[in-house]
């Protein structure tokens, strides 16, 4: 599939979750088997030679492709969740996002210092959630950290940029306008 064909599978919802935000809904991409496979194939090709040992998917849409990517790369899957959703000891990180404040958590034993971690989510916008996930994962001191997204919204100012030592990639680069 071409980028244009992938983009056509994404539903755009104006003024969600608040006025002025244009929401790129990838659930419509996920329900299209050809588009979903294409996204997973492209991401796996980007990271096939990186030695990924864990894929950390950010709740909730990051779980969907993240688990498929982990399976294809022969890596473990680590859920990064909202507070109170994980049953054992956790580490947490709070952050600001474009429409409020939030916290994410992961199990404290989910990642080991020698792991090579790919953090995955559906959208990169201001960088708040992704930066918090990088800080959270880096508290374990893994060997390397990468960040990947299905969509990078390129014209949204990065109020919380991902650290420069974390390589970032996206399948699609779109504008909110």
Q: Which two tokens stand for residue 46?
A: 């980007």
Number of C-beta neighbours around residue 77 at 10 A: 17
Angle at 139 between CA 90 and CA 149, to 5 degrees: 90
Q: What CA–CA distances, in Å, run from 107 to 21, 33, 89, 111? A: 32, 31, 6, 8
Q: Give the active site residues.
A: 61, 98
Site of tokens 């022969």: 74
Q: How many Å apart are CA 85 and CA 12, to the nearest integer?
A: 29
The helix/strand/coil state of 159 is: coil
Closest CA to 103 of 71, 135, 126: 135
Cβ 86 vs Cβ 136: under 8 Å: no
């Amino acid at each position: 599939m071409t980028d244009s064909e992938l983009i056509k599978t994404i539903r755009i919802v104006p003024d969600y979750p608040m006025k002025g935000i244009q929401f790129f809904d990838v659930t419509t991409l996920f329900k299209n088997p050809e588009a979903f496979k294409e996204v997973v194939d492209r991401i796996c090709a980007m990271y096939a030679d990186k030695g990924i040992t864990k894929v950390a998917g950010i709740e909730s849409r990051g779980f969907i492709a993240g688990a498929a990517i982990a399976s294809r790369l022969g890596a473990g899957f680590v859920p990064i969740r909202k507070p109170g959703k994980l049953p054992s000891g956790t580490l947490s990180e709070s952050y600001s996002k474009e429409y409020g404040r939030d916290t994410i958590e992961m199990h404290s034993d989910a990642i080991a210092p020698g792991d090579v971690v790919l953090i995955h989510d559906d959208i990169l916008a201001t960088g708040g959630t992704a930066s918090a996930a990088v800080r959270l994962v880096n508290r374990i001191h893994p060997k390397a950290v990468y960040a990947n997204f299905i969509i990078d919204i390129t014209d949204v100012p990065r109020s919380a940029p991902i650290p420069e030592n974390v390589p970032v990639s996206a399948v699609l680069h779109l504008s909110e306008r």
